[in-house]
Amino acid sequence: MIHSERHRPEIVVGLVATPPDYPARVAARLTAELTGRLSERVDAGVRWTVREGWGEVAPRRDGGVEALLDDVAQRRTDDRWDVAICLTDLPLHAERVPLVAQTSARRRVAVVSLPALGLGQLRAARAAVPDLVSRLLTDASDQRVTPAGWAPAEMASRVTAIHKVVGETDAGELRYVDSRLTGRVRLLTGMVKANRPGRALLGLSKLLVGAFGTAAFALTTNTVWQMGDALGGLRLAVIMLLGLTALVAWLIIAHDLWEKPGRETPPELARMFNLGTICTLTLATAVSYLVLFAGTVLVGALLIDTSVLEQTLQRPVDVTDYLTLAWITSSLATVGGAIGSGLEDEETVRAAAYGYHPEPGGWRDETDG
């Protein structure tokens, strides 16, 4: 058995994550299982070796996918890998449609845009990466593997995000793209997932504490009780939406989370970064609002006796009155939460911006994606 293993041809596959944040987590999960999947899906007669790395390949904003492919190819050459697959959280485009993946047989590399895979990114990457490796080796006429006899649409049948395969002039240059409409929706939801809104929610703990303090004060004021009783559901909904919008806007302005187009960031990319940031903060603040609302209902039920509320409103009350009181109180408290957000650690809040990543090992935040 050992003698047979030694004589099997070895192919080294490099798995590059850029930046070393969320993509590195996906790469680590894939590395643990990729050897078996390559044996199963590509060629069982090959001794597959999977290496992962990051750091030397920067997330290129200015040069687009071609510059990124060049960087990955240089990394592949330096580390003596046979092929390299790059996982990135950059929202890539080709001819104004979301780009899911691109291969280059000449360079022996491919790049996968994780946000373009939507919400099921790990599952889709599990299906896509072995097929991309097979595609590269087949197009490069590597004699160590059995020719796969590829059809361009074959990978598209396994990865939901891929709707079309476009061939380039250079042999082996293929682009896997999504549709214009549903692809943009999938890309945006994938960006929010890659941005980890749970991290933003936990990072804004002081905001929630400040909002609870404001809500507790408001609950003791019978004027707020009367306002909640006088306002209808529509106006209460408008107040809630205005409060949440003001909070998101305050977070973006106060912590400089807005991505501005420039030499290194094309307008389309800056627009996608800002949409990702807005959606991430909106989701985090909406969940915070629900937590605040539930807490306010509980505190209101414990502190405000029914007879006292009936005396103020001059009518019988029921559970809907406590819910209405919690609704207006929570909406007003979100403004107080904005003051609490000013006390947050700058690094924690800025992590909610899609175009920003902390600086591990010399990475610059202006080039992270």
- pLDDT tens for each residue of 33-68: 999 999 988 888 889 999 987 655 555 565 578 888
Residue 351 pLDDT level (bands cut at 50, 70, 90): low
Share of the chain above pLDDT 70, in %: 83
- When pLDDT is averaged across residues 308-334 and rounded to a whole number, the result is 85
Q: Using one digit for the tens of pLDDT, what is the confidence trace for 176-221?
A: 999 988 999 999 999 998 887 877 777 677 777 778 877 888 887 8
pLDDT of the residue at 190: 92
Tell me how far apart the alpha carbons of residues 265 and 156 are, in angstroms, rounded to a whole number: 30
Tell me how far apart the alpha carbons of residues 236 and 358 are, in angstroms, rounded to a whole number: 39
Q: pTM of this prediction?
A: 0.81
At residue 53, φ and ψ (nearest 5 deg) are: -170, 165
**Residue 58 region by backbone torsions, left for phi larger than 0, else alpha for psi between -120 and 50, else beta:** beta
Which one has a higher pLDDT value, 208 or 153? 208
Asked if the model's pLDDT at residue 1 lies above 80, the reply is no
Cβ(150)–Cβ(133) under 8 Å? no
Closest of 367, 157, 352, 349 to residue 269, by C-alpha: 367
